[in-house]
Amino acid sequence: MAARIWRNWAAAATLAWATAVSLPAGAQQEPPGRAARLSQPDGGVQWSGADGNWQAADPNWPFTAGDSIRVAAGSRAELHAGAHALRLQGPAELGIDALDDNDLRLTLRQGSLNLRVRDMAPDERIEVNTQNLAMLVDRPGEFRVDLEPGSTRVLARAGTATLFGENGESATLAPAQQARYVGRNLSAIAAQGAGPRDALDQWAADRSLAEDRSPSAQHLSREVLGYQELDAHGEWSSTMEYGTVWYPRTTIANWEPYRHGQWRWVDPWGWTWFDDARWGFAPFHYGRWVQIGPRWAWAPGPRGPRQFYAPALVGFAGAPAPRPPNFNRHRTPGTDWFPLAPGQPWRPGFGGNPRDPGRGNVGLPLPAPLRNTQRERPPGPSIATPAPGFQGGRADQERRDRWQRDQEWQQQRRQQQQQQDQNRNEMHQRHNQVRQEQLQRQDQMQQQQRALQEQQMRQMQQLRQQQDQQQRQLQEPQRQQERFMRDQRDQRDQRDHSERREQREQRQDRPQPPRAAPPQDLRQPGERGGRFGNRD
């Protein structure tokens, strides 16, 4: 079964490559509607694309199939692929083999992975491969995969999964169960219960709890990457026309969306907007922007429908921007761009037609459609920002200052995280110390109680012995009297017996008088000569 799985993936990859090669020049295959994002990187996290060029992690970079994440020893990383959370403990390396609307296939090359599968669509497929096996998630839950030299340990704290070997072997991983496998044919060397949580699982549980309590999750689909960052940088409000909207808190005068950032080319989506704000992922890749009064508000649409990722939900206008050096992929879009209003269709500015031009418009009111988003500005509140050379909309010095502030903020966040981890470890150590002291006190109290019980038992035995001795002493005169009375009775009985014996002997020695004959008339009937005798 596992061999068929791997062969199917290889065949699909070959077919996709052949299809891409067969596409005519200028055409582009529709990129996936789902990406992955690093939500908790630190200085020890790097990533690389298919070219193998490792570089520092960027929290606003969208990851897709072919990318890899590397975590240094002592560091942690958290990725979100749709609604699913992937948490790594360094040293670790994770490869994203497939990531699209329905499939998520990962390869753990080193270290430990904690996988939280929140929800699964009926046709969704989630798979984790290692050097020993392939794990296919059957039901949502929390899973753990540890790669060790020559073996793989898998654990399911919740949910179920099916494990596959190289030659079609399969096994079921039930909730609260873990197992260790060697080789590539599912040879289990140990199977037991889930066991306690270690540092990675506890950190993952804390992060999952924070996500469950996120206020933004009440208004957004969890498929929206980066929704956790909105909690601390804005507030939600309800409107009659656009439903629930989010107002960012900024310190920049006359702030406008898609103005403070830069454009970068990201395969397979093309030109992608990278905002300078830490929270600038979800509002610039999902939903629409609308100006309500003097403030800009982000309208994500209703919470229920699934949201799809887009590189930038803007329309382009003006003459094509100058090509960057050594850039021959596509023509550049216009030098002006503006955020799309609710209901306006999205069309890429670099060519190609998306299969979902209404991306980000689910549940939003539809205005008059644009004939050409690249050449026509939308009616109502919108802007057009000039961009010489297709760069960001602010001066380089201001961008460098913001980048420096963002780096300082990230450094502070890392220090705070390290301090929190240190405090958590200290609390854990204090808890263990207090627990040990409590156990020692309990042992001492139990020993004292046992000693006291033994002493009380000895005292009670001594008391019973004393009582028995006193009772014997009190009963001794009575026993002596009883013995005396018994002796007297025995002596009296002996005297009586002797007297009776002497009397019998005297009666025997006394001569007996002769017995007189009975009278004639007193003879017994039947005697001869009697009154009733036989006369014959």
| Domain boundaries defined on the chain | 2-14+28-211, 215-394, 410-457
Report how far residue 511's alpha carbon sits from residue 90's, in angstroms, rounded to the nearest whole number: 134
pTM attached to this predicted model:
0.63
Q: At 112, list the tokens.
A: 């430990």
Amino acid letter, 349: G
pLDDT at 24: 37
Angstrom distance (rounded) from CA 513 to CA 35: 148
Task: Please name which of 365, 345, 344, 364 lies closest in space to residue 355, comparing C-alpha atoms.
Answer: 345
> If residue 52 lies in a helix (H) or strand (E), which one and from where to where?
none
Pairing type for strands 234-239 and 187-193 reads unpaired
CATH class for domain 2-14+28-211? Answer: mainly beta
For position 12, what pLDDT does the model report? 37
- Structure-token pair, residue 468: 């028995």
What single DSSP character describes residue 228? Answer: G
pLDDT along the chain (536 residues), means of 10: 38 35 45 87 84 86 93 91 91 93 93 93 91 93 92 93 90 91 85 85 92 90 90 91 90 88 86 90 93 91 80 76 53 70 74 50 46 33 36 46 63 78 85 88 90 92 90 86 88 88 80 64 53 48
Element (H, E) at 432: helix 396-509
Q: What is the pLDDT of residue 335?
A: 61
Phi, psi of 406 (to 5 degrees): -65, -40
Q: Please give the Cα distance from 373 to 310 (Å, whole number).
A: 15
Count of CB atoms within 10 A of residue 511's CB? 5
Taken in order 64, 65, 70, 71, is the CA torsion positive or negative?
Answer: positive
